Structure 1
Amino acid sequence: MGSNYGYCLVCFLVILPAICYSQDFTYSRATYYGSPDCLGTPTGACGFGEYGRKVNDANVAGVSRLYKNGTGCGACYQVRCKAPQLCSDDGVNVVVTDYGEGDNTDFILSTSAYARLARPNMALELFAYGVVNVEYRRISCQYAGYNIMFKIHEHSRFPDYLAIVILYQGGQNDIVDVEIWQEDCKEWIGMRRAYGAVFDMANPPKGYLTMRFQVSGSAGLKWVQATNAIPGDWRAGVAYDSAIQLT
């Protein structure tokens, strides 16, 4: 692991700004996975696909206990390493897109994210460590110009099987449940968490779909509704704008 870290020196790294810090740092360890293009992986356990490869300028991470059976997918963290002579003061802000276990680590960072831990011109020395001591804290995800998107997972089969993944969830929020309004029965029908951030349902309602998702955040649990969020002729691989964003 990590044999391709030299490529990362040519990557252009831009980090989304972190605001609204609300927790003390937790001490842990972090490592990285090799990637010739410095990006994330499209096959991560969260089910994000290409979004998981490129979101946040590919500053992404696989996590172990922070994965929380998929509920932790999409969460944002500030991670900074603890070797003063090598590590930058701010570290890197990452988005959780995968599950991964390392050598007593909480984070397995993309190559670009691991390089961002280092001071200027010190990335190669930091990669040589392989595993570093870090401190981290949860931060608000910020996606300027993006609303929450409902992406129809590629495994969906119109009209008999619908699987979705929720992208660009802002703030410090975890999405714990998703439901679809069944108009003929006048009731909400729960979707199953298939894996990671992917929710699915066999024989979904016909026509425009009104969704609601339950959010766990600083204000406790709340339901957020997106009316007619997905058209009746939905197609696999397409992402639909919810017109709402969490803060």
Structure 2
Amino acid sequence: MSLFFLVFLLFVSSVIACDRCVHQSKVAYFSSASALLSGACGYGNLAIGFNGGRLAAAVPKLYNNGAGCGACYQIRCKDPKICSKHGTTVMVTDLNTNNQTDFVISSRAFMAMAIEGKAKDVLKLGIADVEYKR
């Protein structure tokens, strides 16, 4: 019985701590990447050069008291008419205290989720339904 309980606890903890799992959420964007330059991670002006300017502010559970700084996430919007299958990769440089989205990303990253020629249509969404994983 105790072996079963131990296996059960290991399974539950691995599910809870799943770094590579796909999560469903929403993403918004900053109209100016400069909003991310004064981010909570303290990268300052260096941040704009990170990851081609595809930056993100993450909710507290992902920001993790600063331990999430520099983490990269693959984010893909779910509207097949305007969103690519590949999405984009963002790097966490700030804390997002908005509870409506898991990320607020740079407009460059937001447009990078689009299929070719549909970047403006993706921007018009303002907030997009997405899947993401680390």
| Greater helix content | 2
Q: Same fold (TM over 0.5)?
A: yes
Q: Distance in 2 between matches of 1:59 and 1:81?
A: 15
Larger Rg: 1
Give the one of 125, 132, 155 matched to 2:128: 132
* Contact 2:36 2:55 (C-alpha < 8 Å) held by counterparts: no
* Contact 1:77 1:136 (C-alpha < 8 Å) held by counterparts: yes
* Contact 1:101 1:108 (C-alpha < 8 Å) held by counterparts: no
Deviation at 1:56, TM superposition (A): 0.6
Q: Distance in 2 between matches of 1:106 and 1:55?
A: 20
Q: Which digits, 9 at most, give the CA deviation of each residue in 1:75-122, with x for residues without a partner?
A: 011000111101011100111000113361011010100000111111
TM-score scaled by length of structure 1: 0.44
Partner of 1:77: 73
Q: Aligned in 2, Cα 1:40/1:90: closer, same or farther, shift over 3 Å?
A: farther
Give the one of 93, 96, 99 matched to 1:100: 96
Q: Which amino acid aligns with 2:49?
A: K
- Structure 1 stretches of 4+ with a deviation exceeding 4 A read none
Give the one of 97, 100, 118 matched to 1:122: 118
Deviation at 1:50, TM superposition (A): 1.7
Q: Aligned in 2, Cα 1:83/1:103: closer, same or farther, shift over 3 Å?
A: farther
Partner of 1:109: 105
Partner of 1:60: 55
1:175-214 map, 5 Å: none
Deviation at 1:23, TM superposition (A): 1.6
- 1:86 has 2:82 as partner: yes
TM-score scaled by length of structure 2: 0.80
How big is the alpha-carbon RMSD for the aligned residues of Structure 1 and Structure 2? 1.6
* Contact 2:107 2:123 (C-alpha < 8 Å) held by counterparts: no
Deviation at 1:129, TM superposition (A): 1.0
Q: Which amino acid aligns with 1:71?
A: A
Higher RCO (CA 8 Å, separation ≥ 6 residues): 2
SS in 2 for 1:108: strand
Deviation at 1:123, TM superposition (A): 1.1
